[in-house]
Amino acid sequence: GENVEQHPSTLSVQEGDSAVIKCTYSDSASNYFPWYKQELGKRPQLIIDIRSNVGEKKDQRIAVTLNKTAKHFSLHITETQPEDSAVYFCAASMGPGGYNKLIFGAGTRLAVHP
Amino acid sequence: AAGVIQSPRHLIKEKRETATLKCYPIPRHDTVYWYQQGPGQDPQFLISFYEKMQSDKGSIPDRFSAQQFSDYHSELNMSSLELGDSALYFCASGPPGQGYEQYFGPGTRLTVT
């Protein structure tokens, strides 16, 4: 069945360092890969996403890369700030929209220390 | 910008009672997804609706049912509540034209005592 593995489960960095979170997916039919940031008790917030026809996407300090052959994708955060501290979830789904339930990874708790 | 609205935000019920959770998607969004998130866990897909028809079903107990109405809002009905149903329940909506993105509402925290 569909499965998404996410590593590491916890990540601690110093302010200004980079953080990398990696995910692998099992279903080769997956074609959409979003990343969500969730603060304690709050909603998952979509921060960046990538579709299978693209290898890399960047938005200011965050970027996502996708390797379809290896079935893995990664989130890169540069120049981390304390407000980046949260739980980050990767997810995978099969389109088209309207039918694409998200299968989430187990999450990575990122702590950015001043 | 308008976001997904969920009500109530908090709900306390006793075992064997029923609960109804409501979701109002972002205007013009035609898809609604329901997810359940236990403490320290990732969101688990329950059920989804596209253009008022059920489009997919996940690990939703038979005690739960849901529907999407003509105005695109959705309701999740939960009966014979169990202690294990205590969780955060999120609704997400997706844009028209079979868009891929899902935007989450603030969630309903259900506590079953």
Who's near A72: CB < 8 A, 6+ residues apart? A22, A23, A24, A25, A66
Q: Note the residue count of chain B.
A: 113
Do residue A97 and residue B98 have CB atoms under 8 angstroms apart?
A: yes
The pLDDT assigned to B99 comes to 76
Residue numbers in B near A101 (CB within 8 A): 33, 45, 48, 56, 58
The tens digit of pLDDT for each residue in A37-76 reads: 999 999 999 999 999 888 999 999 999 999 999 999 999 9
Token pair belonging to B9: 């935000």
Do residue A97 and residue B94 have CB atoms under 8 angstroms apart?
A: yes
Q: Pairing state of beta strands B87-94 and B108-112?
A: antiparallel
Contact B93, B102 (CB under 8 A): yes
DSSP string for residues in B63-103: TEEEEE-TTS-EEEEE-S--GGG-EEEEEEEE-TTT----E
The tens digit of pLDDT for each residue in B67-90 reads: 999 999 999 999 999 999 999 999
